[in-house]
Amino acid sequence: MTANLLDYDLEGLAAFCERLGEKRFRATQLFRWIHQKGAANFDDMSDLAKSLREKLKTCAAVSAPRVTFQHQSTDGTIKWLFDVGAGDAVEAVFIPEDDRGTLCISSQAGCAMACRFCSTGHQGFSRNLTVAEIVGQLWFAEHFLRRHLGREDRVISNVVMMGMGEPLQNYQAVLHSLRVMLDDHGYGLSRRRVTVSTSGVVPMIDKLGRDCPVALAVSLHAPTDMLRDNLVPLNRKYPLQELLDACQRYLAFAPRDFITFEYCMLDGVNDTAEHARALVALVSAGGRSRAWCKFNLIPFNPFPASGLLRSAPAAIAAFAKILGEAGIVTTVRKTRGDDIDAACGQLAGDVMDRTAVEQRIAKQRRIEIKPLAAGAGGKLSGDAK
């Protein structure tokens, strides 16, 4: 069987080389050829012994998922669609800025979490991506961009796992992929510049803290369990208090001294002054300092099936002001790549849904979301069963 060398972190590649009767430093050389130089052809790896190159040709390959579509936005954002077989395709997006180049990558084909405001969630879930499929997005993008921009130095300085899928539901593959990104012989990215974004898989947040503490972003979206249960169904399993406790525990390992909360601004649903004040109370409960978290407000990127609308700019500004005045650092995310559907939550790819997600989301939609009542949090009526 042919081994795909993009599937291995350095440890895995060393074990593979050992099985071929090769020394560990060969694995380091090979790893550097693949990830630092973008080589896929063993004949190009000039400092490897010819005998090893011949051996590799018989049992290994460097194979990233095939790009079937590339689209560049007027603002420089580039989106790629990768074919991962059996009718599934996932997306990655490159976002250039003055001081950094960020790649947003996918961790699953689809997503089983069924968040109401997310286009990937509406697609349903097909399968977990392999390490080669996750790392392959970075491998392809980095080396494509170097060629495209005529650069020899690193183009991608930051990676965010904010594309399709819930990274902490594909833990092992994500962990190995993170190790390739951080490895000095791989992409050499700093832990502060690699972000895992999660809808709140509490036990895996703890595990990530122990195994590979990169920057953590948590998709909060609501100040109360009642509202969050409806927007992020995973909240029924891991409610807000458990999630916040896990975030606090993560701080002991995190590469920065704060957790980022993402908050998608939905018109009339979670964007009033009462919601903002409830959020301030939530994150400062138990005498916690407000400096332990930052908020990133994401203007909702609408898509027809959601039945939801983006908050008005004035509502977003007023919301940010309340958080800011309470001492919480708050930013409003600029939407990038809007013209090519490359903004947050618009990465729909094309997956075979194996989870009947539309039925589940239809059930959630039967719940009417009412304004937050004083002291009570999000009031919902209707039957979610």
Binding site for ligand SF4 (CB under 6 A): 111, 113-115, 118, 120-121, 165-166, 199, 219
Binding piece for ligand SAH, criterion CB under 6 A, among 26-34, 62-70, 181-189, 191-199 = 191-199
By a kind-dependent CB cut-off of 5 to 8 A, residue 300 interacts, out of ligand SF4, ligand SAH, none, with ligand SAH
Of 91, 133, 166, 274, which one is the catalytic site residue?
A: 91
By a kind-dependent CB cut-off of 5 to 8 A, residue 212 interacts, out of ligand SAH, ligand SF4, none, with none
Residue nearest to ligand SF4 (CB): 121
Q: Sort 268 into a burial class: Cβ within 10 Å, 0-12 / 13-18 / 19+.
A: middle
Which two structure tokens, joined as six digits, stand for 357? 């997600």
Q: Does 250 bind ligand SAH (CB under 6 A)?
A: no
Q: Between 45 and 264, name the residue whose CB sits nearer to ligand SF4.
A: 264
Of 64, 118, 178, 276, which lies in the binding site for ligand SAH, with binding defined by CB under 6 A?
118
Q: Write the interaction track for ligand SAH spanning residues 157-186; mark x where CB under 6 A is met and - where it is not.
A: -----x---x--------------------
Say how far apart CA 178 and CA 141 lie, in whole Å.
Answer: 16
Per the annotation, the verdict on 166 as an active-site residue is: no
Say how far apart CA 125 and CA 98 lie, in whole Å.
Answer: 35
| Nearest residue to 303 (alpha-carbon basis) of 123, 172, 158, 157 | 123
Q: Write the interaction track for ligand SAH spanning residues 256-295; mark x where CB under 6 A is met and - where it is not.
A: ------x-x-------------------------------
Per the annotation, the verdict on 344 as an active-site residue is: yes
Alpha carbons within 13 angstroms on the beta-carbon side of residue 317 total 3
Which two structure tokens, joined as six digits, stand for 123? 């697609």
Binding piece for ligand SAH, criterion CB under 6 A, among 23-31, 116-124, 178-186, 356-364 = 116-124
Which two structure tokens, joined as six digits, stand for 207? 């595990």
Of 17, 115, 212, 344, which one is the catalytic site residue?
A: 344
Which two structure tokens, joined as six digits, stand for 312? 């008005």
Q: Between 30 and 308, name the residue whose CB sits nearer to ligand SAH.
A: 308
Q: Between 4 and 119, name the residue whose CB sits nearer to ligand SF4.
A: 119
Cβ atoms of 223 and 278 closer than 8 Å: yes
Say how far apart CA 382 and CA 180 lie, in whole Å.
Answer: 47
3-state secondary structure of 261: strand
Say how far apart CA 25 and CA 149 lie, in whole Å.
Answer: 32
Q: Between 10 and 118, name the residue whose CB sits nearer to ligand SF4.
A: 118
How many CB atoms neighbour CB 39 within 10 A?
A: 17
- Show which residues are catalytic: 91, 344
